[in-house]
Amino acid sequence: MARVTGPQTGGFRHAETFVEVAAGYRLWVEMTGDPERPALLLVMGANASGLTWPDELVELLSRDHFVVRYDHRDTGRSTHAFHERPYPIRALADDAIAVLDALRIARAHVVGMSMGGTLVQLLLLDHADRLMSATIFGSTLIGGAAPDPGISDDDLPGPDPRLLALWAELGQGRDPEAELRWRVEHWRVLNGDVLPFAAEEFADLERRIAAHSGTWRSSAAHALADQSGLERGAELANVSVPTLVIDAPEDPVTPPPHAARLARAIPGAALVTVPGLGHALPRAVVPSLAATITTHTGGRP
């Protein structure tokens, strides 16, 4: 049973708390906006703190929503204990529901990026009654889906080789200066090759995340976690929750047509392209991304 520690919701613009979830894990949670507005839960990708969602994006979304972002297990200020208490990736979807339960949020719009998009697909299958809408981007269709006559597996390219080389170094011991350089280079590749890359913007982000986390050590927990239980793509054919799939045309992790394949697997899903979007969230793309999400959730475009 999830439990909140720290300040409670109600009548504030911004607050932080901790939510205790199963297996002795405590998650850092931040809430922004008016609790009387529709809730919007942001679910980040693998090994990434909730602070990876840009403050500017949270601010724009909070004009129409009560925005919740949080640190997954083994990221940020949440409990780091994977090696003592390992868990499967699918448990992170249960954590998202635990956050809603602890904040007494009956239903929410949910936005998932990268691995967060995988988790949102599981939420669509197991907790549809808790979702007002779903938005997914930077992700791919979970396994086990029925063959698509229009987009075959051979049409789905893998990650950029430059990323594979960087990922081979994930979790290696580096001093803070070297770790910062590695992370900025990682963001450079994730950004894609169309939008200008502002190295100092992402260096500032990583300094904030390190200060927030209290360490420069990178976690590889989600890369090591059990991937079983994700072969459920065929079940998406029964989804009725309004779903938006955002196509990131410059994404080096899940390049086109991954987004189109995912959208085709979910009945009625909309597919909208955000020009220039890669697998990073630079300031240059935040206004168009926020407008795309807000249009889908029924807020101001």
User: 60: which 2 tokens?
Assistant: 């724009």
Per the residue annotation, which of 49, 251, 258, 296 is the catalytic one? 251
What gap in Å lies between CA 256 and CA 252, rounded to an integer?
9
3-state secondary structure of 299: coil
Nearest to 69 by CA among 49, 89, 88: 49
Query: Which residue type does 229 have?
Result: G
Nearest to 253 by CA among 181, 169, 161: 161
- Following CA atoms 55, 56, 59, 61 in sequence, which dihedral angle do they give, to the nearest 10 degrees? -110
Indicate the helix (H) or strand (E) that contains 132: strand 131-137
Per the residue annotation, which of 65, 80, 186, 279 is the catalytic one? 279
Per the residue annotation, which of 62, 114, 218, 219 is the catalytic one? 114
CB-side exposure of 296: number of CA atoms within 13 Å?
29
User: Active site includes 127?
Assistant: no
What gap in Å lies between CA 194 and CA 199, rounded to an integer?
15
User: Active site includes 251?
Assistant: yes
User: Active site includes 114?
Assistant: yes
In Å, how far are 119, 178, 216, 217, 222 from 175, measured between CA atoms?
Answer: 32, 5, 8, 9, 22
User: 187: which 2 tokens?
Assistant: 């963001």
Q: Please check whether residue 272 is in contact with residue 247, taking contact to mean a CB–CB distance below 8 angstroms.
A: yes
> Is omega for the bond preceding 257 within 30 degrees of 0, making it cis?
yes
Catalytic sites, residue numbers: 114, 251, 279
